Amino acid sequence: MADKTLKDVLTPDLGIDHPVPIAEIFVSVGDRVAKEDPLLSLESEKAVMDIPAPFEGRVAEILVEADQEIESGALLMRLEADGPSADEGASGEEKSLPAEFPELPSPAAPPEREEPVKVPEDREETTGGDHLSHASPSVRLYARELGVDLSLLAGTGPKNRIRREDVQNYVKTLASRGSVSAGTGLPAFPYSDPEQFGPVREENLTGIQKVSAAHLHSSWVNIPHVTHYEKADITGLEAWRKELNGLEKRKGDKARKYTTLAFVVKALTAAVEEFPRFNAVLAPEGDRVIFREYVNVGIAVDTPRGLLVPVIRDTDLKGIGEIADEIVQWAARGREGKLKPGDMQGAGITVTNLGGIGGTAFTPIINPPETAILGLSRAAVEPVWNGTEFEPRLMLPLSLSYDHRVIDGALAAAFAARLAKFIGDLRQTLL
């Protein structure tokens, strides 16, 4: 009989510095799994990833549970494998990375934890800081964003650890009592149970939607948003786009799909190179602006799990065709739930496109640490005066939200006007 060896399966390096929840566990103790079979899935910020089996074997122990928050390097489960299989697969400590993430380094051992400090449940509501509370750095940051004093909370995690849910429940309690709403300094809005007026239906937010909600709320509260509206004449661009797609159809399966968004991304790239404050970030201290010397553009993608924003890197070094290809690829990966956390980091400015749905204008919310976001609405034919008469032109509405701490109104108006010209005629980007 072949020797059996227990091997650990660890969380891979997630590329982020805070815990993520386990979305689902696919196996049970005693199940046989093949190499690369998914064991469980993690739901990080705006991404869901599967953790595969590092080798063939039997599930001996499962050391985590659904909805539990874990960090890089955390022990997930142990697999029992025959000697040869174990040698081939090494251990989870060496080869626990999912197939989709070959570039990530091997996870390090979990860091040593400080001794937990028990938080009394009957503690008076005073402002004493959160330095004595047992919580991860990400939970501390989340609490600070919401204006919550962690010293007032009793943790429900292992060894009284304060979890993200504890912070959320505390805020809900304050809101239900009519206390000051967290993070805003404003009175909380009154809540009235709708069920008392008729039948209701509940639907839980996905993990991505919960993360997005907190992120967007923090952005709206902390950043002075201003939205500037402009229109770009895309009559010539649309004719050119259709001509290119007509030529591409002759290539069959290898045909490239040009979308209006691809041209907008290229025009936006030229505009931020001319107006670098739209590709900058305000330093945490608020006393200086840091200018990026590269151009990465985020593109918002609507998926069944929520809004995702993958990043097209180095758009200043890519042609419209390459950008068009990446837009299609990122959109597909987003809908399939295959985006990694690193795929959605590093943007200097974001484009969100509602043109396929409708509307004439809206106020997109800035995605920190970016200082601006461009919204696209549905293009429509309008009469435009050419100096002697009105003529029908296809006009694309632009909604540009910007951080007024970094960008003033005159600069935003000049940027939007220049961007509209670039979109209308990309030849101007070569001048």
Which positions are catalytic?
A: 404
Q: What value does the CA radius of gyration of the chain take, rounded to a whole number of Å? A: 25
Side-chain-side CA neighbours of residue 27 (13 Å): 27
Tell which residue, 36, 13, 29, 31, has the closest CA to residue 93: 13
DSSP assignment, residue 57?
Answer: E
Residue with tokens 């293009």: 379
Query: Which residues touch 254 (CB under 8 Å, ≥6 apart)?
Result: none
Tell which residue, 259, 218, 268, has the closest CA to residue 45: 218
Please tell me the distance from the alpha carbon of residue 45 to that of residue 62, in angstroms, as a whole number.
Answer: 24
Output phi, psi for 407, to 5 deg.
-125, 130
Judge whether 365 and 216 are in contact, CB under 8 Å.
yes
Q: Which two tokens stand for residue 413?
A: 């108006």
Q: Which two tokens stand for residue 200?
A: 């209701």
Please tell me the distance from the alpha carbon of residue 327 to that of residue 100, in angstroms, as a whole number.
Answer: 19
User: Could you give the 3-state DSSP secondary structure of residue 330?
Assistant: helix
Output phi, psi for 352, to 5 deg.
-120, 125
Judge whether 376 and 398 are in contact, CB under 8 Å.
yes
Please tell me the distance from the alpha carbon of residue 346 to that of residue 15, in angstroms, as a whole number.
Answer: 12
DSSP string, 260-272: HHHHHHHHHHHHH
Judge whether 55 and 7 are in contact, CB under 8 Å.
yes
β-pair type (280-282, 289-291): antiparallel
User: Could you give the 3-state DSSP secondary structure of residue 161?
Assistant: coil
